[in-house]
């Protein structure tokens, strides 16, 4: 998941994990021990912040995203065949085109606005909030809208993302509910 062209926002892998068993599953630990198989070669999960539940209850499910930047050795730019191994389960191989993130500071305000607008297109309806917040890490101050979260992006842009609550067997979680809005505005400090 991510922008089609290389931007400062890293590409993510969207995953759906189910626990078909009758005992809880240590999801966070299993993902910490996961391996990304890139063109037949293992790349192990390095240190990274996990934005999901520590475990999955019996018969539970979880949707989320993993950053490819958290695996070592890192993926090189280009086309690859990848699969993810979590515990004893390995996903089917998928073909992806990987773009390494670029430094937005090497551009100008116009190019920064364009890449933020491209990201907004990538934030599709139903995408978990935890995935969105791997790209948008700074929440904006001010009076929050009831169903939207505003995020600040340097140097002077904001993106407002609408969310709704969605039920899964593991509980309620927030997902994108519509199209994000990008606009130019200074960061609020309250």
pTM reported for the whole predicted model: 0.84
Question: Is 141 inside a domain boundary?
Answer: yes
In this model, does residue 190 exceed pLDDT 60? no
User: Of 32-36, 45-49, 72-76, 154-158, which range is least confident?
Assistant: 45-49
- Asked whether residue 111 falls in the same domain as residue 92, the answer is no
- Asked whether residue 20 falls in the same domain as residue 92, the answer is yes
Question: Is 189 inside a domain boundary?
Answer: no
b/e string for 134-172 if b means 16 or more Cβ within 10 A?
bbbeeebeeeeeeeebbbbbeeebbbbbbbeeeeeebee
- Asked whether residue 63 falls in the same domain as residue 28, the answer is yes
Q: How many separate domains does the chain show? A: 2
Domain boundaries, position 34: 12-98
Question: Is 148 inside a domain boundary?
Answer: yes
Question: In the listed set 64, 98, 132, which residue is the last one of a domain according to the structure?
Answer: 98
For the segment 78-96, what is each residue's pLDDT rounded down to a tens digit? 899 999 998 888 999 999 8
- Give the rounded percent of residues in the chain with a pLDDT score beyond 70: 92
Question: In the listed set 47, 66, 98, which residue is the last one of a domain according to the structure?
Answer: 98
For the segment 14-40, what is each residue's pLDDT rounded down to a tens digit? 888 888 889 998 988 888 888 999 999
Give 43-46's long-range contacts (Cβ < 8 A, gap of 24+).
Answer: 43/71, 43/72, 43/73, 43/74, 43/75, 44/71, 44/72, 45/70, 45/71, 46/70, 46/71, 46/72
Question: Is 2 inside a domain boundary?
Answer: no
Look up residue 109 and give its two tokens: 């305000």
- Asked whether residue 178 falls in the same domain as residue 117, the answer is yes
- Asked whether residue 84 falls in the same domain as residue 109, the answer is no
In this prediction, residue 127 carries a pLDDT of 93
Question: Is 7 inside a domain boundary?
Answer: no
Question: In the listed set 53, 69, 98, which residue is the last one of a domain according to the structure?
Answer: 98
Question: Is 6 inside a domain boundary?
Answer: no
For the segment 121-180, what is each residue's pLDDT rounded down to a tens digit? 999 999 999 899 999 999 887 666 778 899 999 988 999 999 999 876 656 788 999 999
Question: Is 5 inside a domain boundary?
Answer: no
- Asked whether residue 92 falls in the same domain as residue 151, the answer is no
- Asked whether residue 66 falls in the same domain as residue 134, the answer is no
Question: Is 190 inside a domain boundary?
Answer: no
- Asked whether residue 69 falls in the same domain as residue 84, the answer is yes
- Asked whether residue 21 falls in the same domain as residue 94, the answer is yes
């Amino acid at each position: 998941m991510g922008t089609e062209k290389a931007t400062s926002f890293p590409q993510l892998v969207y995953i759906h994990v189910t626990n078909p068993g009758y005992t809880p599953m240590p999801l966070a630990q299993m993902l910490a021990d996961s391996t990304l198989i890139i063109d037949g070669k293992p790349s192990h999960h390095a240190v990274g912040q996990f934005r999901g539940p520590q475990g999955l209850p019996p018969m539970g499910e979880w949707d989320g995203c993993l950053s490819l930047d958290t695996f070592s050795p890192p993926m090189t730019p280009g086309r690859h065949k990848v699969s993810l191994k979590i515990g004893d389960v390995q996903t089917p191989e998928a073909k992806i085109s990987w773009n390494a993130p670029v430094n937005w500071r090497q551009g100008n305000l116009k190019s920064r606005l364009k890449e933020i607008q491209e990201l907004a297109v990538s934030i599709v309806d139903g995408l978990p909030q935890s995935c969105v917040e791997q790209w948008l890490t700074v929440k904006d101050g001010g009076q929050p809208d009831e169903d939207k979260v505003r995020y600040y992006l340097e140097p002077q842009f904001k993106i407002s993302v609408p969310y709704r609550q969605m039920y899964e067997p593991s509980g309620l979680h927030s997902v994108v509910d519509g199209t994000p809005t990008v606009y130019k505005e200074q960061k609020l400090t309250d």
